[in-house]
Structure 1
Amino acid sequence: MSRTRLSELLLLGQGLDLQSERGVSCTGELPEASDPKLVERAIAARAALGDRAMILGHHYQRDEVIAFADITGDSFKLAQAAETNSKAEFIFFCGVHFMAESADILTTSNQKVILPDLAAGCSMADMASAKQVDDCWDALEKIGVAGKTIPITYMNSSAAIKSFTGKNGGAVCTSSNATRAMKWAFEKGEKILFLPDQHVGRNTAVLNLGLSLDDCVIWNPWKPNGGLSESEIKSAKVILWR
């Protein structure tokens, strides 16, 4: 089976059908609040808590939410901000589940990290469950390559996945330091298990580290042995999560 060459991949904005690649505008208005005094109550509650509370607003939030934020930014910046504010008893993280977990990891046991919407999830973080990753690692151990494999997980992952990564000698990376993290991993081992975003792992390995697409395989957690043969796993330098 032939493999797709990197030069054949369609780059955004450089395809033949530019109209299909245009951005999507979401201009819908928020529904009316169930309580017409909701904003008034929120302002009063914020004033009453004072320095005891810190509100973190992720870039993705609507302006109506950002208006209450003490600090705005990406998930890593906000988690670091929570870590440096030891005075705040309550950390309100206006984001998704893995972001609040990251802040909770970095803050003290005396601080409470609160996610206003417990149903707010991240599709990328949900691509890899702790059970699936444990099963993958068990398979790598049976094949005899786990000892030479370093797990690297992207920031957009659950606390359980981050814990697994640290337990097995790996690291957590962001898009800005993925290259440094993978170089470090190759100094420690012969292979990398990169999760949960295969694209960050592949682009970093091929474009920044000079590996080929043939050096990368994709582990499908829904198939036995990830849908890979033992020889494919042994010869791969980077195992990407699907």
Structure 2
Amino acid sequence: MTSVAERIASSATASTAHSLATTTCDTDLAEPTWVFDALPTYGPGASVADPIPAETPNATRRPGQLPLAYQKMSEEELHARIVAAKEAMGDRLVILGHYYQRDEIVAYADFVGDSFQLANAALTRPDAEAIVFCGVHFMAETADILAREDQHVILPNLAAGCSMADMADEESVEAAWEELAEVYGFDPAQEIDAGWFERNPGVKLPVIPVTYMNSNAALKAFCGRHGGIVCTSSNARTVLEWAFERGERVLFFPDQHLGRNTAKAMGVPLTQMPMWNPRKDLGGNTEADLDAARVILWHGFCSVHKRFTTAQIDAARAAHPDVQVVVHPECPMPVVDAADAAGSTELIRRFVADAAPGSTIAIGTEVNMVNRLAAQHPDKTIFCLDPVICPCSTMYRIHPGYLAWTLDGLVQGEWRNEIHVDPDVATHARIALERMLAAAPQPLTGGAR
């Protein structure tokens, strides 16, 4: 099967505007990523219209252009450089690749997985001097927080951010926390250290902050300071159970859909899940709404997973009556409800692997992963629910040119594109992350119906 990059390039050379419009979300994706890396947007693709907020770490660390020599290198030369650098570095290097990375990057990864798996994977290579994270900015930050002081975390392209992560910033969350403190009657400045719950058994806090892994280090530190925790799509249910044991309710940010879908599957009524819009007083709620709340959902979302619709599921079932539909919980609730199963990228991978030969499976997640699963399981018919080729535009920024350039730097003793998290931020964020790592994902049932 051709790669997503090849399919996009093929679409970009199509002869008619109609063909372009119906095959890829943005034909500019066929251009090399460095063409767009100096622009203040997330790049062509699903989130092309989203300007990067000026105050985010991703905006303040905009890269320069990839050196011209690397822009001009052929695929063969880039491959040779990457392989040579890996051989030269040996065990001093570990490359982590997220499932959503393009195939030509995954090919070089020592570990491939979702954010929970990769956070653990980095801990298994204590001899590695360099952790090269082929993912996005918040993932590299997390690796730096969990790494030893003498380890270096590299993000091949600093423009690889996340529009969802930028939908919740520290100032907005702090402001929401102060408003909630007035409603629930607690001191917003009170810090809850790592051992507080053990010293106060049975005491529940008015609200527990829970941030999705897709958030910046400052928000993970916020959770660490206030008795909260980080979750991933793999362990979101375990994390919410942990939080409900220790708090009356949860403030869940930045992805509303993961929070809603997880809490709904646990039996929390929608009437007890108000939305918090940071641009409105009390998030657009009344005090009565907030008093009755069990999960307060931040107004954030994933631009890729928001593309999936129930109409796409209906079309898949009409074309393939025996189709099984599995989607990511970042999809809107009606899509999750209409699917046969929903869960993390690892659950989706396992769902496909466990399906009987000859099965037809429609998947609602990032197209690079879907395309790879189809190639890995030729005995099954596997396709993306969204017929338009639209990869995660920020994950897509990790190009072999950037990987070769950063790896060449390691061989030469240069730490190019190193990610540093402020030590004070890292101290508090580590508390929330260690709680996350202890909250093991539950068995991969996926809520199959």
The TM-score range, normalised by the shorter chain, is: 0.7 to 0.9
* Partner residue of 1:35 out of 52, 58, 73: 73
Does the alignment pair 1:68 with 2:105?
A: no
Opposite residue 249 of structure 2, the aligned amino acid is K
Contact 1:80/1:106, CA 8 A, preserved across alignment: no
Structure 1 unaligned blocks of 5 or more:
1-22
Specify the alignment match of 1:110 in structure 2: 150
- State how far apart, in whole Å, the 2-side matches of 1:158 and 1:225 are: 23
* Partner residue of 1:122 out of 146, 162, 166: 162
Specify the alignment match of 1:151 in structure 2: 209
How many residues align? The count is 220
Percent identical across equivalent pairs? 54
Contact 2:274/2:289, CA 8 A, preserved across alignment: yes
Specify the alignment match of 1:5 in structure 2: none
Compared CA separation, residues 176 and 46, structure 1 to 2 (3 A): closer
Contact 1:80/1:103, CA 8 A, preserved across alignment: no
Specify the alignment match of 1:195 in structure 2: 253
Does the alignment pair 1:230 with 2:294?
A: no
Query: Comparing both structures, which one devotes a greater share of its residues to strand?
Result: 1
**69-78 or 170-179, which moves further after superposition?**
170-179
Structure 2 unaligned blocks of 5 or more:
1-22, 33-69, 187-204, 300-449
Deviation at 1:178, TM superposition (A): 1.8
* Partner SS for 1:61: coil
Contact 1:145/1:234, CA 8 A, preserved across alignment: no
- State how far apart, in whole Å, the 1-side matches of 2:25 and 2:104 are: 18
- State how far apart, in whole Å, the 1-side matches of 2:81 and 2:235 are: 41
Opposite residue 84 of structure 2, the aligned amino acid is A
Please report the TM-score for the alignment, with normalisation by the length of structure 2: 0.46
- 1:151-207 deviation line (CA, Å, top 9, x unaligned): 112222221111111211111122232222212222212111111111111122222
Please report the TM-score for the alignment, with normalisation by the length of structure 1: 0.82
Opposite residue 141 of structure 1, the aligned amino acid is A
Could you list the structure 1 runs, at least 4 aligned residues long, displaced by more than 4 angstroms after superposition.
Answer: 23-33
**105-114 or 74-83, which moves further after superposition?**
74-83
Deviation at 1:217, TM superposition (A): 0.4
- State how far apart, in whole Å, the 1-side matches of 2:31 and 2:24 are: 18
* Partner residue of 1:165 out of 223, 227, 233: 223
Deviation at 1:233, TM superposition (A): 1.6
- State how far apart, in whole Å, the 2-side matches of 1:111 and 1:138 are: 37
Deviation at 1:46, TM superposition (A): 2.1
* Partner SS for 1:80: helix
Q: CA RMSD in A?
A: 2.3
- State how far apart, in whole Å, the 2-side matches of 1:205 and 1:78 are: 25
- State how far apart, in whole Å, the 2-side matches of 1:145 and 1:91 are: 44
Opposite residue 106 of structure 2, the aligned amino acid is I
Higher relative contact order (CA 8 A, sep 6+): 2
- State how far apart, in whole Å, the 1-side matches of 2:24 and 2:289 are: 39
Does the alignment pair 1:98 with 2:155?
A: no
Deviation at 1:25, TM superposition (A): 9.0
* Partner SS for 1:51: helix
Compared CA separation, residues 181 and 145, structure 1 to 2 (3 A): farther
Opposite residue 163 of structure 1, the aligned amino acid is A
